[in-house]
Amino acid sequence: MIKLYLAKLQLPPNTPYKTLPVFICNDSYHFTHLKIYKNGYVDCWELVTLDEFIQKVAEGWVTVELDETETKEIDIFGVGSVSSGFQYRAEKSNQDLILEVMDIIAELNDLPTSSTRCLQAWHVYQSDSSEKNRENLKEAYEAMPHHLRMYVLGDQDRKDRPIRQAIYEERSSIFDPFFNLSAEDLPLTNLTEKTLNQLPTEHQFMEQLQANLQHARTIKQRYEQEIQQLVQQKLNEFHQEINLPIQYLEFEIESEENEDGVHQTQLTDCKIHIALEL
């Protein structure tokens, strides 16, 4: 008789790894973290290879996607559980999760990630904006996880807009030359004459916007003054009736516009709380 002894797979101590938050579906959902190791193994409550991990995602054991109609209970370790009725919005799909895991393994091994490959394709396209290089850039960009398709250029303001404009021909505005320039890019004197000619129109728009904001501030100040006057009026009326220490004043404010377009503000359901020492 041949006896087989199966030992649990273990990794060498101090193996470098990174984590990602996910849900493990084991009867109920459990919010936990994957451990992605440098040697390509993934710990999702059991140590598996990358191919086995992809299969676990396909089977639903690991997921970041929850259906709105899902009724399974979610257990959050150390916090408690959440039953049906909660709202959950996933920032990435299960396919994005797999791509991100693959990127982490590459990063831990000092290999190019999908982001670095896209950045390289972008530099090539900038030096030669041929159709072939544009297609290569598009392929590299779409190989990235969706939720990371705004950080390739490392600029929170531009959010990879120049790349999307190049590959998808996104609609642009006259302000794009400003958004697409980084601190080390060309000076503003290199803006096109068409852009410079359009700037006065945008300047007029900004002036009108500032005027509208100032008008709104004026209305707000007027309302505040009216409310203060109304409150003082109520307090005076109260003191005429009885002189007691006031603890605080509670009321509701109603504001409406009459037929002449004039706003009127009034206090309703006014309650005055007094402090009495017995």
Q: Which pTM was predicted?
A: 0.56
Section 23-31 average pLDDT: 85
Domain boundary among 179, 195, 211: 179
Residues 6+ apart with CB under 8 A from 99: 114, 143, 144, 145
pLDDT for the residue 278: 39
Query: For 55-88, what is each residue's pLDDT tens digit?
Result: 999 999 999 887 665 566 676 654 445 555 556 6
Instruction: Identify whether residues 29 and 63 lie together within a single domain.
Output: yes
Instruction: Identify whether residues 96 and 124 lie together within a single domain.
Output: no
Task: Give the number of domains in the chain.
Answer: 3
Query: For 95-119, what is each residue's pLDDT tens digit?
Result: 999 999 999 999 999 999 999 999 9
Q: Check pLDDT > 60 for residue 174.
A: no
Query: For 193-210, what is each residue's pLDDT tens digit?
Result: 555 555 556 667 777 777
pLDDT confidence tier of residue 219, bands split at 50, 70 and 90:
confident
Section 223-227 average pLDDT: 73
Whether 225 is in a domain gets the answer yes
Side-chain half-sphere CA neighbours of 2 within 13 A: 2
Q: Classify residue 70 by burial, with Cβ atoms within 10 Å: 0-12, 13-18, 19+.
A: middle
Domain boundary among 108, 125, 155: 108
Instruction: Identify whether residues 34 and 77 lie together within a single domain.
Output: yes
Q: Give the DSSP per-residue string, the chain.
A: -----PPPP-PPTT--EEEEEEEEEESEEEEEEEEEETTS-EESSSEE-HHHHHHHHHHTSEES---TT----EEETTTEEE-TT-----SS-HHHHHHHHHHHHHHHTT---HHHHHHHHHHHHHH---HHHHHHHHHHHHTS-GGGTT-TT--TTTTTHHHHHHHH-----TTHHHHT--TTS--GGGS-HHHHHHHHHHHHHHHHHHHHHHHHHHHHHHHHHHHHHHHHHHHHHHHHH----EEEEEEEEEEEE-TTS-EEEEEEEEEEEE----
Q: Check pLDDT > 50 for residue 181.
A: no
Taking the C-alpha atoms of residue 140 and residue 112, their distance in angstroms, rounded to an integer, is 12
Instruction: Identify whether residues 118 and 174 lie together within a single domain.
Output: yes
Nearest to 211 by CA among 222, 219, 199: 219
Of 212 and 58, the structure prediction assigns the larger pLDDT to 58
Instruction: Identify whether residues 23 and 98 lie together within a single domain.
Output: yes
Mean pLDDT, rounded, of the chain: 74
Whether 36 is in a domain gets the answer yes
User: Are the beta carbons of 174 and 199 closer than 8 angstroms?
Assistant: yes
Instruction: Identify whether residues 96 and 141 lie together within a single domain.
Output: no
State which residues form the domain around 230. Answer: 220-274
pLDDT for the residue 28: 80
pLDDT confidence tier of residue 184, bands split at 50, 70 and 90:
very low
Nearest to 44 by CA among 67, 66, 26: 26
Taking the C-alpha atoms of residue 96 and residue 100, their distance in angstroms, rounded to an integer, is 6
Section 17-33 average pLDDT: 87
Of 210 and 238, the structure prediction assigns the larger pLDDT to 210
**What's the maximum distance between 2 C-alpha atoms anywhere in the chain?**
106
Instruction: Identify whether residues 225 and 171 lie together within a single domain.
Output: no
